[in-house]
Amino acid sequence: MKKAMIIVNPSSGKEEAEKNQHKVEEMLKRKGYDVIVKMTEKELDATKFARTSCEEAFDVVVSMGGDGTLNETVNGLADQKHCPNFGIIPMGTVNDFARALGIPQDFDEAIKLIEHGETRPVDIGKVNDHYYMNIIAVGAIAEATYGVSPKQKTMLGPLAYMLEGIKTLSSKKAYDIHLKHDHGEWKGDALLVLAALTNSVGGFEKLAPDAEVDDGKLKCLVVHDIALHKFIKILTELLRGEHVHDDDVEYISTSSLEISSSEHLHSNIDGDEGEPLPLKIDILPKHLDIYVP
């Protein structure tokens, strides 16, 4: 009999994930799957559950949570001999990865997508010894988002991340950054470095306007050490996707990237605190089969 696992973060979506997981379970049972539901209780539970689904040759894994739950699930699925088809029910604050794939934010519509059964092979990234599927950020603005509380996420959604980032602008701090990429190197002082696999970052869907989820590339964006009024100008350009042509922005398309600094910096990976620099980032092309429209 075919097997499916549902990984649920019960705190996601104002606790709607736990309330509605039975709808996903019923749909999968109608399609002939023997279904197991796993509730996350602590950090890395989703990774452990996803790894088990590979080892025990499950056919489908469904993640119900936000981008953090997705990141953990991807880390359990990546580089395994057997990998189930992957379904996403976006229940988080921003749901960048789901947005980039065109997965509906509406719960019932997302379920129908999995029921329909169309999959697409999608890239993921490998950073040092871990994996990610959307964005790596480095800089004071990225570090400020660690302070966003679950209550702020629930009340304000993506605006919560923006407000925390804006708070850092008054004490604008740049860091010396060294990048190595397919086309050479870049050295300089930067306010922010982003390495994006998709076009949607923090709810902004034009941050990497030419990014594709299956092109084997990441888009690296570097904002130079500039005056506050210029930084605000870049933010307005970002809404239109015009920042990539700004002289104060480096925009690099590459299949691998190394990020280092003389200062002690931590990364932000898929919205959560990540590893300290240096980082070595590679792409695993078309690595996961994900249910999409």
What are the sequence ranges of the domains in the chain? 2-117, 132-285
Q: Examine domains 2-117 and 132-285 and report if their fold is the same.
A: no
User: So what's the architecture of 2-117 in CATH?
Assistant: 3-Layer(aba) Sandwich (3.40)
Do residues 253 and 219 lie in contact, with contact meaning Cβ atoms separated by under 8 Å? yes
Its pTM surpasses 0.75: yes
Residues in contact with 216: Cβ distance below 8 Å, sequence separation at least 6, in sequence order:
123, 255, 283, 285, 286
DSSP H helices, 13-65, are 16-30, 45-55
Asked: is 132-285 a CATH 2.60.200.40 domain? The reply is yes
Amino acid at 107: F
Max CA pair span of the chain: 62
In this predicted structure, the answer to whether residue 100 has a pLDDT above a threshold of 60 is yes
What is the pLDDT, as a whole number, of residue 87? 97
Q: With cut-offs at 50, 70 and 90, classify the pLDDT of residue 165.
A: low
What is each CA distance from 96 to 149, 172, 196, 244, in whole angstroms? 18, 26, 11, 20
Q: Which residue has the higher pLDDT, 243 or 57?
A: 57
What is the pLDDT, as a whole number, of residue 152? 52
What is each CA distance from 135 to 58, 220, 232, in whole angstroms? 28, 10, 21
Do residues 257 and 195 lie in contact, with contact meaning Cβ atoms separated by under 8 Å? yes
